[in-house]
Amino acid sequence: MSGAFLFYGRDQKMITVSILGASGYAGAELVRLLIGRPDISIVALGAKSSAGQRFDSLYPSMAGRVDHVLQTLEEASKHPVDCTFVALPSGEGQKVVPQLLAHARRVIDLGGDFRLKDTALYEKYYKHTHHAEEVLQEAVYGLPELNKTAIAGARLIANPGCYPTSAILALLPAIHHGIIESKGIAIASMSGISGAGRTSSVDFSFSELNDNIRAYKIGTHQHTPEIESVLQSEMGKSVTVSFVPHLVPLTRGIYTTIHARLMKQMNTAEVLVLYREYYQTAPFVRLREQIPQIANVAYTNYCDLTVNADDRTEQLVITSTLDNLIKGAAGQAIQNMNIMFGLAETTGL
């Protein structure tokens, strides 16, 4: 795709990209968000089972805008582009990322293969053996509100999970200022069905999820160690969370409510001052006085937060909401790409 030139870094040139896993929901969202940018050239779209099909046959809404035929992952990996987005299921990304780093100037992995530095934790929660330890240690956790400087100089970004983004953004200021206890943080998150990926499983069918809500993977969800490890790194000591995810009959969106015990007596106004100060340079985090709603963040890269200090229970109650396919996946990946190439992080978002 052609377009006007734009400055990034010291060079004036088009940013060339490829997307592996373009047939999935997150991959397709990357295409949708990037295709209208005059500074981006999508060189190749790769897929596994859908290779050989036109992208717009899978996503007819993109007819007239995207004329790519989906290549095999091997074919799409060979293009020497500036940046490759890897939107493959966990366990698959580690198979291609080491080779991609030889061809792509930057790699942004949207799966879970490079989020945990501890391979034992990865293998326990993801049920895969890790075969890419040689590049794992150089991966930067791609939460711009936390690691912007490191992201700017990284070759490999581990894009955060959607649930962890909602939970970590909600907790970071409280953890940073040490106003909550590090143990017993209770996180309840509700996710739209698209968070499960583009699957034909009967568990995610309309008849199973319509007029229904259910928790799953209580105590065993793969995002639990991701949340704990990031918060632990920020706090400098062990952090434990009880994370309970739920599926709700929505297409997209994540809604998270968190309870944490306050270390000292504080009112809501005092907590809000700390949160506003922490996020004053974060364009995609909005502190709201009213309770957030998924409808206000759907199809955007925003995360909306509200806090409430409850004197009666000595609890800090935090609510966050975001679009799992955008701030929880493709939008955050593009935000990271913008930072890596010296662009304003809001570009195209």
CB 283 within 8 A of CB 209: no
CB 328 within 8 A of CB 190: no
Strands (E), 150-247: 156-158, 185-191, 214-215, 241-247
What is the bridge-based pairing of β-strands 315-322 and 303-310? Answer: antiparallel
CA distances (Å), origin 179, targets 90, 172, 173, 237, 295: 35, 11, 9, 14, 30
Q: Give the residue from 252, 228, 256, 257 showing the smallest Cα distance to 329.
A: 252
C-alpha–C-alpha distance, residues 241 and 219, integer Å: 10
Q: Is 162 a catalytic residue?
A: yes
Q: Which two tokens stand for residue 106?
A: 């930057």
Q: Give the residue from 82, 104, 92, 96 showing the smallest Cα distance to 34.
A: 82
C-alpha–C-alpha distance, residues 21 and 74, integer Å: 12
242 strand-pairing partners: 186
Active-site residue among 19, 107, 162, 231?
162
- List active site positions: 162
